[in-house]
Amino acid sequence: MGYFRFPKYVSVAEKKAKAAKKLKQLQKKNSDIQPVIIEGNSLANTWWGKAWNSNLTKYADFSNRVGRGRSYLRHGAVLDLKIDSGTVSALVQGSLSIPYKVEISIKKITQNNWKNIKDACHGKIDSLQELLQGKFPKALAEIFTSKNQGLFPSPAEIQFSCSCPDWAYMCKHVASALFGIGSRLDENPMLFFKLRGVDGNELVKQAVKDNTNKLLEKAKNKTSRVLEDINISDLFGIDMESDSTNIKPPKIKNKKQPANSITGKIKENNQKSDKKQKNSLTKKSYKKAKSNIKDIDIILKAIQQAKKGIAIPALQKQTKIKDRQRLFNCVYQLLEKGKIKRISRGVYMKV
């Protein structure tokens, strides 16, 4: 007669040690391994990560199932997680020595939904800037998190599979990978738009246009180009194409008025004032851009000197850059240019 046996108890320390050992083995064979490492008690820290996790638990289909994956994620069991257009692939360490393969497919946002979202964001420049910095955008929260019409997917739009023998609808390995997505969005919010099959830069360009028009109106000078491309890059902390604003300034035809003409003098004074204001803004833009380039060089040098990689807190201390968001923006630019690579969450090293 067979007897039912409870599974052997495994402590948290043992689970973490097992996952860490397997991660080292995988990294020796494949340097492209991207584990999800949780620092502290929170699974996510930015608006993006928190909103993703909140969306998972908002639906009854998932609310009583995804919680099983939280502990797995905290123990470092998600050894690799990669996000692509409409798909997520992950390796999750379970009870066996070989990690399980998790595949998640997420339906892309329809063009009609995306258009409605962009229209709803029009004119909300301040909120868009906050959003791109990973902050909580109160004015856009309802637009983005609206059920079935927002940016975040519903359970019906998510399909998944796992190589484990668990018969459950959603096993703990899938659940840990789903929460791992939220942690990954902490590092790079633009991955979210890639996952949903849309171009997040469209919101950036719209924000740039709104900001340009706002400054032009404020300066009462619709014939000068207020924002240079280099200033746009510094403003949002990302690389922009040279034609990202899609704004072509009209040609200026200067007609000199007679010296004794009152109208001519007024126009001449206005032109001098506009030129002075433009020069002032250009100098400010150049100063900001120069400062940004200097920070990037300092950060790159610090990362290159760290043979085994360096974490964000240590990097901030070494570079003495007080603005943590600015530090993240510079690191993101270096990642995009392929000058550094991420070896774990918040830890970077030279390529």
Same domain? For 187 and 69 the reply is: yes
What is the pTM for the complete model shown?
0.58
The whole-angstrom separation of Cα 237 and Cα 129 is 10
Last residue of a domain, one of 180, 198, 216: 198
Average pLDDT, integer, range 280-304:
74
Which of 348, 350, 345 minimizes the C-alpha distance to 42? Answer: 345
Same domain? For 310 and 170 the reply is: no
Which of 59, 58, 62 minimizes the C-alpha distance to 170? Answer: 62
Which of 287, 132, 271, 285 minimizes the C-alpha distance to 215? Answer: 285
Could you write out the three-class secondary structure of 35-88?
CCCCCCCCCCCCHHHHHHHHHHHHCHHHHCCCCHHHHHHHCCCEEEEEEECCEE
Same domain? For 187 and 309 the reply is: no
What are the phi and psi torsion angles at 46 (to 5°)?
-95, 170
The whole-angstrom separation of Cα 203 and Cα 128 is 7
Residue 263 lies in a domain: no
Comparing 239 with 318, which gets the higher pLDDT? 318
Same domain? For 301 and 163 the reply is: no
User: How many contiguous H segments (helices) and E segments (strands) does the chain have?
Assistant: 14, 7
Which of 233, 261, 247, 249 minimizes the C-alpha distance to 330? Answer: 233
- Lay out the sheet containing 340-344: strands in order across: 310-311, 347-350, 340-344
Comparing 118 with 216, which gets the higher pLDDT? 118
Comparing 233 with 203, which gets the higher pLDDT? 203
Same domain? For 30 and 157 the reply is: yes
Could you write out the three-class secondary structure of 285-313?
HHHHHHHHHHHHHHHHHHHHHCCCCEEHH
Same domain? For 71 and 193 the reply is: yes
Last residue of a domain, one of 170, 198, 226: 198
Q: What would the two tokens of residue 194 be? A: 């890639």
**pLDDT band at residue 55, thresholds of 50, 70 and 90?**
confident
Lowest pLDDT segment from 54-63, 134-143, 229-238, 301-310: 229-238
- Highest mean pLDDT among 23-32, 268-277, 321-330 belongs to 23-32
How many C-alpha atoms does 304 have within 13 Å on its Cβ side?
9
Say if residue 70's pLDDT is above 50: yes
Say if residue 260's pLDDT is above 70: no
Same domain? For 297 and 194 the reply is: no
Q: What is the pLDDT of residue 100?
A: 94
Same domain? For 312 and 182 the reply is: no
Beta-strand ranges (E) seen in the chain are: 78-84, 87-92, 100-106, 158-162, 310-311, 340-344, 347-350
Same domain? For 187 and 314 the reply is: no
Say if residue 332's pLDDT is above 70: yes
Last residue of a domain, one of 198, 219, 254: 198
Average pLDDT, integer, range 281-306:
75
The whole-angstrom separation of Cα 159 and Cα 176 is 15
Same domain? For 313 and 184 the reply is: no
**pLDDT band at residue 248, thresholds of 50, 70 and 90?**
very low
Q: Name the domain count of the chain.
A: 2
Residue 297 lies in a domain: yes
Residue 307 sits in a domain of what CATH number?
A: 1.10.10.10
Average pLDDT, integer, range 67-89:
90
Residue 62 lies in a domain: yes
Residue 264 lies in a domain: no
Q: What is the pLDDT of residue 83?
A: 94
Residues in the chain: 351
Lowest pLDDT segment from 31-45, 51-65, 259-273, 323-337: 259-273
Say if residue 258's pLDDT is above 80: no
Q: What is the pLDDT of residue 118?
A: 83
Average pLDDT, integer, range 80-97:
92
Residue 24 lies in a domain: yes
Average pLDDT, integer, range 125-145:
68
Same domain? For 176 and 299 the reply is: no
**pLDDT band at residue 203, thresholds of 50, 70 and 90?**
confident
Contact 76, 38 (CB under 8 A): yes
- Highest mean pLDDT among 47-51, 157-161, 214-218 belongs to 157-161
Residue 26 lies in a domain: yes
Give the domain extent around 345.
293-351
Residue 121 lies in a domain: no
Comparing 86 with 286, which gets the higher pLDDT? 86
Comparing 2 with 40, which gets the higher pLDDT? 40
**pLDDT band at residue 120, thresholds of 50, 70 and 90?**
confident
Which of 2, 289, 220, 51 minimizes the C-alpha distance to 150? Answer: 51
Same domain? For 83 and 189 the reply is: yes
The whole-angstrom separation of Cα 109 and Cα 123 is 22
Comparing 260 with 69, which gets the higher pLDDT? 69
Residue 166 lies in a domain: yes
